[in-house]
A and B are shown apart, each in its own frame.
Chain A
Amino acid sequence: MGIKTTLPTELKYHALVIESKAREYGLDFFDVVFELLDARDVNGIAAYGGFPVRYPSWRFGMEFEKLQRGYSWGMSKIYELVINNDPTYAYLVRSNSLLEQKLVMAHVYGHADFFKNNVWFAGTERRMLDRMAYGATRVRRMIDQHGQEVVEKRLDDMLSLEGLIDPFVLRSHEGVREPQRSLSEHRGLRLENFGREAAAALPSRPGPQLPEADVLGYLVQEAPLADWERELLEIVRAEAYYFLPQRLTKVANEGWACYWHSKILTGGLLEASEIVDFADVHSGATAAAPGQFNPYRLGLRLFRYAESLGHDLFMLRRIHNDVSFIDALVDERFALEYHGAEEKDSLAAREQGFDWKAWKENLLTSLSFGGQPRITLVDRDAEGEGELVLEHRHDGRDLQLGQSRECVKRLASLWGAPVHLHTRLDDEPCTLIARGEEVEVRTEGGDDPQATAKAS
């Protein structure tokens, strides 16, 4: 399903050398396939999240427009793109220099090893390239049947809710899913059930337990959707679960790849004339830009720090996601060093008000649950309207209200009944209630009589 470009002999040679070096160091990965593409094509693939084929959506077009513009204005360029798949696919940009290609290849082997061995990736679909292509075909067929506008609208609704999945469900326990019915079987089934309620067509199984963090999964099973909508939702959900581990391990994954591209290349694979360029590109990727969080930098420093403490790096990359990784390793010494101070300056830093614990806490908060609000499904039909009740676990950060309103509205349209979302706004409990096109924001200030007035 790949694009199948041929690498020039020179690059092929370097790929082989780097690969054997990586294996020598103990990295363990699926086969890695490199594709050499023009910048424009890489932008196209990047717009699809790394896949050559995905279902049609204007969002990818917008992403492409952005990337193309960034590229043609010289503001940004993509060095490397690698996807978690077996075999692992990676894209090289034709216009890059040979040194850059070598660096990218070494970097890619780091990612490939991480994909294969990190426990958070354990349940991911390893045939995602095929799965995406299959999903794309299905969606195209839906569009042929139901019209572009209709499918697009539904797809947008579902994508808005993409984040409502359970980051901690181990996908492997879903491994025993029944195989996909073939198309003809499917038709037969529909004929058999002709005229019956759509809900009755679902195999009867014990209702899912509440509370449930996998809201999308709940909807797939319970929402009164048309067949095609249910299938569409399954596609969206599968992709969301596929991409989730990458969000949960951005720091560790990039850190691991940077650690290895540096180690592999400086371990004797660079020509003397390439050292300065290597240092330039490497430090460009791992530099600290003021006011910006650079996962490459943090991850690399964490692995180097762990190495200096004598930890087993391979074990670290197997068991950690970003949050646990940072939590386990960041201490005062690391925090100081990361900010460019020596340990002996710790007193001075403390006097200047540098609080490493606050820094760490902040970092952990921003990374927890993949940086998304934690919203779980807690109840159903509590007030007898068939409504769905969700709860946002407030951690001190309010939800962005405008977007949240729109999201509950979309959820309600999928669910076909009202949706309640409990959260807090400005330190007060608050409920968003979506009924059809209407969204009501009800603050339950308790002893504050003002709040009820505000709601009316």
Chain B
Amino acid sequence: MSSPLYRIQGDHSRFREIVKGRIRRDLERFLSTGELIARCGEHAVSVPVPQIELPRFTFGSNEGGEGGEGEDGEEESKGGEGKEGQGSGAAGEQEGQHILEVDVDLGDLADMLGDALGLPNIEPRGTKQIESEASRYSGIRATGPDSLRHFRRSFKNAVKRTIASGAWDADDPRVVPIPDDFRYRSAKASRKPDSSAAVFHMMDVSGSMGREQKEAVRIQAFWIDTWLRRQYENLEVVYIVHDAAARVVDQHTFFHLRESGGTKISSAYELCLSEIAERFRPEDYNLYPFHYSDGDNWSARDTERCVALLQDELLPRVNQFCYSQVKSAHGSGQFKKDLDAAFEGVDEVVTHAVRSKDEIPDAIRSFLGSGR
């Protein structure tokens, strides 16, 4: 619709730009708390921003010290002033709205993440480019349905033929097309790099993984998904939990489950492998297994088995394998040491120890920073 008010769009987007600037500024904080996860919709996150208001001479209480909050030339509002315009109707003189919710596109959020952490775009895996076909109407041919008739080309042909045949009369420039003149649009297939990926979030849910640890996992998984979703058109996420045995669960279960029992990490890797074999052929998908654990494994034997699985089966198929070790009260952290020892110098295996939530940004940076 041609709205008479296109101008407000400009001011609106300027405002959103400013808001995004503030989110960018606060991104570190969002990165280490789960605040945004609950606010995530399908395409957008609703981010709470303190209302930006111009400071004014107003009455107000000054309790809580003389410190003054207006450091940045911006004030968190203390209740909106009545609107200037005359009579905004009976309902809706909103008073004292301190927080404004602003929808931010997930893609924009991912870009902010990329800027903040200096993440490179992901390069296509190996030399083999996965391609898919897409067709566009970019060609012309002599037959086709009327709905695809190319008027300008058809007319041009008719004019050319009329002139060539000597029937052209400049005073009476009438052109009558015959069926041979008609041209039609035709679809041409073009090849474009495919962009499907699958992420496997494998989480250790044995007794030693408490709420704190799961929260850290959850935050990492959220940001990793956000980033990868920006990089790939289709992103499938598989959630796997394991203690002594592994199973595939849905998202809700993944984040809320609490099991207790032993830990057999190889079970998760095996399940991940069978998922890859069944649903995500490496030829069609870019694969990203992530494993989160506090680093205690059942036995050294099982760790050996894990290393072997990674070495022989997983690594040849995936883009990158990431292991995030969340510190827990009881965890020994042995598994990371074992992995590091076994895969020294192997770029496709990235491990990171997260001792507190503040280190989550570092973990994300090291997982996604290689652009694989």
Contacts and interface: CB of A to CB of B under 8 A. Distances in A.
B60 A403 contact: yes
B88 A78 contact: yes
Interface string A340-376: 0000000000000000000000000000000011010
Contacts of A60: 8, 11, 15
Given A40-B3, A400-B62, A405-B70, A246 B84 contact: yes
A80 B87 contact: yes
Contacts of A373: 57-59
A83 interface: yes
A159 B86 contact: no
B59 A80 contact: no
A372 to B, nearest CB: 7
B4 A52 contact: yes
A392 B12 CA distance: 35
B142 interface: no
B84 A45 contact: no
Contacts of B14: 56-58, 61
A59 B74 CA distance: 12
Given A250-B82, A407-B55, A401 B92 contact: no
B54 interface: yes
Interface stretch (A63-71, A197-205, A265-273, A378-386): A63-71
A120 interface: no
Contacts of A59: 11, 15, 54
Contacts of A287: 90
A292 B55 CA distance: 24
A59 B60 CA distance: 22
Interface in B1-49: 3-5, 7-8, 10-18
B89 A77 contact: yes
A117 to B, nearest CB: 15
A47 B86 contact: no
Contacts of A30: none
Nearest to B102: A65
Nearest to A284: B90
Interface in A367-425: 372-373, 375, 392, 397-407, 410, 425
B12 A402 contact: no
Nearest to B97: A66
A250 B88 CA distance: 12
A49 B83 contact: yes
Nearest to B80: A66
Interface stretch (A160-168, A305-313, A318-326): A160-168
Contact of B55 (A50, A78, A403): A403
B73 interface: yes
A279 interface: no
B344 interface: no
B259 interface: no
A253 B87 CA distance: 9
B97 A246 contact: no
A412 B142 CA distance: 75
A57 B14 CA distance: 8
B171 interface: no
B231 to A, nearest CB: 30
Interface in B87-106: 87-92, 94-95, 97, 100-102
A285 interface: yes
B278 interface: no
A292 B67 CA distance: 30
Contacts of B3: 38, 40-41, 44
Interface string A290-324: 00100010000000000000000000000000000
Contacts of B66: 401, 425, 441
Contact of A52 (B5, B16, B56, B87): B5
A65 B12 contact: yes
A372 B87 contact: no
B52 interface: yes
Nearest to A243: B84
B256 interface: no
Contacts of A164: 57
A257 B87 contact: yes
Contacts of A296: 90
A56 B11 contact: yes
B56 A162 contact: yes
A61 B55 contact: no
A48 B8 contact: yes
A81 interface: yes
B94 A76 contact: yes
Nearest to B13: A61
Interface string A77-109: 111111110000000000000000000000100
Contacts of B69: 402
Contact of B75 (A47, A80, A406): A406
B281 interface: no
Contacts of B60: 398-401, 403
Nearest to B52: A62
A400 B82 CA distance: 18
Nearest to B95: A292
B61 interface: yes
Given A56-B14, A61-B8, A400 B59 contact: yes
Contacts of A48: 8
Contacts of A44: 3, 5, 7-8
Given A70-B92, A159-B54, A398-B59, A41 B86 contact: no
Contacts of B12: 61, 64-65
B56 A253 contact: no
B78 interface: yes
A149 B7 CA distance: 18
Given A257-B87, A399-B58, A405-B70, A61 B92 contact: no
B85 interface: yes
A75 interface: yes
B145 interface: no
Contacts of A69: 101
30 contacts: A41-B3, A41-B5, A49-B83, A58-B18, A61-B10, A61-B12, A61-B13, A63-B83, A76-B89, A77-B89, A77-B92, A80-B87, A81-B87, A107-B87, A111-B86, A162-B56, A164-B57, A246-B86, A373-B57, A400-B58, A400-B61, A401-B68, A402-B55, A402-B62, A402-B69, A403-B60, A403-B70, A406-B70, A406-B75, A410-B55
7 interchain residue pairs of minimum CB distance: A76-B92, A400-B60, A61-B15, A79-B89, A406-B70, A285-B90, A402-B68
Interface of B: 3-5, 7-8, 10-18, 51-52, 54-62, 66-70, 73, 75, 78, 82-92, 94-95, 97, 100-102
Given A45-B5, A403-B56, 8 more contacts: A41-B3, A54-B7, A57-B14, A61-B15, A76-B94, A78-B88, A111-B87, A164-B57
